[in-house]
Amino acid sequence: MACTTSNRFVVETEEPPAADWDAGFVARQSDGRHTYFEYTGWLELPAGDTREHRLLRLGNGMRVLCISDPQARQSAAALAVRAGSTSDPREYPGMAHALEHMLFLGTRTHPGEHDFEAYLTQYGGYTNA
């Protein structure tokens, strides 16, 4: 399941009908412990697109489209969460924005408030959160 550094990862969370999403996926194991599912059917791609495309569903349900382009000079990753200010409860306006910032406020490997941002900057990356 690993993709090289010349890949672009696009993760999207919009839910298609369950029957469509489950059809055509085969279970795989990435490291002997973690199972993911790879789509083995046909993907409709733009005309002239010669890059390698892999559609995956991770064990936690997240869907990933991995696009490999050996000619690429940069890598990119994007995460789209299907929620925003219109999803805020009336009694808690601004909650979606606060949660967006919480996604980047610390992890086990980057515990400080700005550690993850510094890590990305070190390698020429950035966030838009």
Catalytic residue set: 100
Q: How far apart are CA 28 and CA 44, in angstroms?
A: 23
Tracing tokens 């306006």 back to the chain, one arrives at 93
Give the number of other Cβ atoms within 10 Å of residue 108's Cβ: 5
Contact 96, 87 (CB under 8 A): yes
